[in-house]
Amino acid sequence: MFISLYVCWHLIKSMETEKEQITKIRGFLTPDRLVVVKTNKNISFLVDKGYGILQDGHLYLYPTEALYLVYKEILEVYDDKSIIIPFKKLLEIFGKEDSEIWIKLNLYTNLRKRGFIVRKGIGGKISFFVDKKSKDKVKRYLVEGMVEGVRIGFRELENLFRRSVESGRELVIAVIDKEGNISYYIVNKLSSVESYGEKVSNIHQIYGQ
């Protein structure tokens, strides 16, 4: 799928606003195209921020997580010869197996920028579990990304809604246009789709967006 250079620039500018000055974490690209972090103190830092999956004492990062952290200059990814893989090369590697990696990364970055914890979802092709923690509660969403102009059938929407209910989350549809801008819609019932506009704009104001 063609993504314009404007989208790439838009995404990069969004990511630049979030850079943090910390010692870079070392990760290693695995044969199954994940990135593994092995140092305990680095694992603790990333887990506290809501990144990755713990397994056998190691932390495994999905492509969107790894790319995001590399561009933020928090993570360095090495190949099997202990050579650093630059962001563009890493993007190329992941893109060979996932043609929608730019779209996923754009949505992931947008959600992280808004202060949400974002994890790989179980819905459609572009799917994230999204949480926002406060002192007294946690807001939980299943965010499904859709490219503007691509139709979604009622059966597919029904399946997504069912998965969101089963996971105890609200279903949110994120529509990404050709310039990389994202509009959010919350699905309250199968019989009605409510604009994410006013309701979620209030959430954004509460979270300081």
The domains of the chain are located at 5-95, 114-206
* pLDDT averaged over 10-residue windows placed end to end, the chain, 209 residues: 46 51 85 93 92 95 98 96 97 94 96 95 86 87 92 84 91 92 85 44 29
Tell me which residue of 209, 206, 205, 203 sits closest to 186, measured CA to CA.
203
- What's the DSSP call for residue 24? P
User: What is the value of pTM for the model shown?
Assistant: 0.80
Mode of pairing for the β-strands spanning 138-147 and 170-176: parallel
Range 114-206: architecture per CATH? 3-Layer(aba) Sandwich (3.40)
Task: Give residue 122's pLDDT.
Answer: 81
Out of 3.40.190.10, 3.40.1170.20, 3.60.15.10, 3.30.200.20, select the CATH number for domain 5-95: 3.40.1170.20
- What pLDDT score was predicted for residue 23? 80
